[in-house]
Amino acid sequence: MKLPGNMQNMMKQAQQMQERMQQEIALIKVEASAGGGMVSVKMDGQKNVLSVKIDPEVAGDVEMLQDLVVAACNEAVKKVDDETKQKMGGLLGGMGLPPGLF
């Protein structure tokens, strides 16, 4: 089934916009820490943990270390989500879509 010309253009623009968003998200890199910097986590836009740094002082307390790693990872995920929303808002803003649609 062939779509009308205007609809085909809109679909092509939507596909290009999706590709641009994926490229922008792939470039995101965040760092988050917990325990006053005792544990820090770097994460990319796909929420892959890239690195973890642990202060040797907390290495002996396993339970606290586990809690700090979880807290740092959760904060990194929040930062990725915030940055993704910001980038998507900027890219989608030019499409004239109603507010709150994405």
Which residue bears the tokens 């253009």?
Answer: 9
Specify if 34 maps to a domain.
no
What pLDDT was estimated at residue 2?
65
Range of the structural domain that residue 79 is part of: 56-89
Tell me: the pLDDT tens digits for 6-55?
Answer: 888 888 888 888 888 888 888 999 999 999 999 999 999 999 999 999 99
Weakest-pLDDT range from 38-42, 45-49, 74-78, 98-102: 98-102
Specify if 76 maps to a domain.
yes
Burial of 90 (0-12, 13-18, 19+ CB in 10 A): exposed
pTM of this prediction?
0.73
What pLDDT was estimated at residue 100?
54
Specify if 37 maps to a domain.
no
Specify if 63 maps to a domain.
yes
What pLDDT was estimated at residue 12?
86
What pLDDT was estimated at residue 45?
93
Specify if 60 maps to a domain.
yes
What pLDDT was estimated at residue 8?
82
Residue with more model confidence, 97 or 78: 78
What is the number of structural domains in the chain?
1
What pLDDT was estimated at residue 87?
83
Specify if 29 maps to a domain.
no
Specify if 73 maps to a domain.
yes
Q: What element of type H or E holds 79?
A: helix 62-93
Question: How far is Cα 56 from Cα 83, in angstroms, rounded to an integer?
Answer: 31
